[in-house]
Amino acid sequence: MIKVAMLSKWHVHAGGYANMVKNSGKAEIVAVWDDDTARGKAWAAELGAEFIADLDALLAREDIDAVVCDTPTTAHHDVLIKAAKAGKHIFTEKALCPTVKECLEVKEAVEAAGVTFVISYPQRGRPAVQFAKQMIEKDMFGKITLVRMRDAHSGVSGNWLPDYWFEKKDAAGGAMMDLGCHPMYLLAYFLGKPKRVTGMYTAPYGKPVDENAVAIAEFADGALGVAETSFISYNSPQTLEIYGTEGSMIAHGNDVQFSSAKLGGIKNGFFTPDLPKEKPAPLMQFIDCVAEGKPAPAELNIDAAIGLTELLENSYIGDENNSIVVVD
């Protein structure tokens, strides 16, 4: 049984991750750390685990195999480097860090320690996304010209996100740094490394971080990627569109319509394809990797984590400076 420590209940997904660990049948929660002592003690009591106020003391314990990190995004760098140096396997919420420089320092620590690292990119396992990836690998779109991904909700306009969610010193950003991670890591998944990036972010409800955001990036061969997100959209369907010189795909959730000139007999119309089975949640894949001594899946590893931050960091720079950022 893998012994897991939960690091902070700051993130809104922390409770869900704890439930996954408890119900996995392969891991158990033995300890909790949180920089908010009251929050941490209450959560530890709820989980039936020990609260340890000193992070270094927790990481020094030999009976802890792995950590699940849900600290503020700006704290990931220091916490995860400590965890890696202590030899703990790491599962972390996205984004890894606000800057690529910080991510590379985490990568150095992870690789030096030889620990398993997995980041939470759940949408890379969605049936519609897997199907799109398969069609790209089979060249069914021809030359891809545009990928557009939208993921939005009413967290601000509906007043159901916690106030601390908008503290830039902790969250590092707003809608794009949170919900917008999903469109961003899908652009990287489909199109690779960006060449140029910019963003346009607004806050109509007056929060100190972005509430409504669009990022645009150029990738190889002139392909454009558009990532859209918002905390002020009512009932916005999760939308993925891919357009190429020989194929197109439009998906609302897992309602997929696909067309390709390379398919015999279906050259002009769209059809509903059979979709792959959804992959297990990233946390469950992490637990399996640790239990079986397997490497992290490529789509959830440290390099995938850095790919997201590359887009996020440069899009925020583009918005703040009214500029387009050329990526090295």
Report pLDDT for 266: 61
Domains of the chain: 2-115 (3.40.50.720), 123-278+309-326 (3.30.360.10)
Report pLDDT for 89: 98
The reply to whether omega before 95 is within 30° of 0 (cis) is yes
Report pLDDT for 264: 73
Instruction: Please identify which residue in the block is written with the tokens 């369907």.
Output: 237
Instruction: Please identify which residue in the block is written with the tokens 């996205």.
Output: 94
Report pLDDT for 328: 85
Report pLDDT for 30: 98
Low-confidence stretches of the chain (pLDDT beneath 50): none
pLDDT tens digits, one per residue of 84-134: 999 999 999 999 999 999 999 999 999 999 999 999 999 999 999 999 999
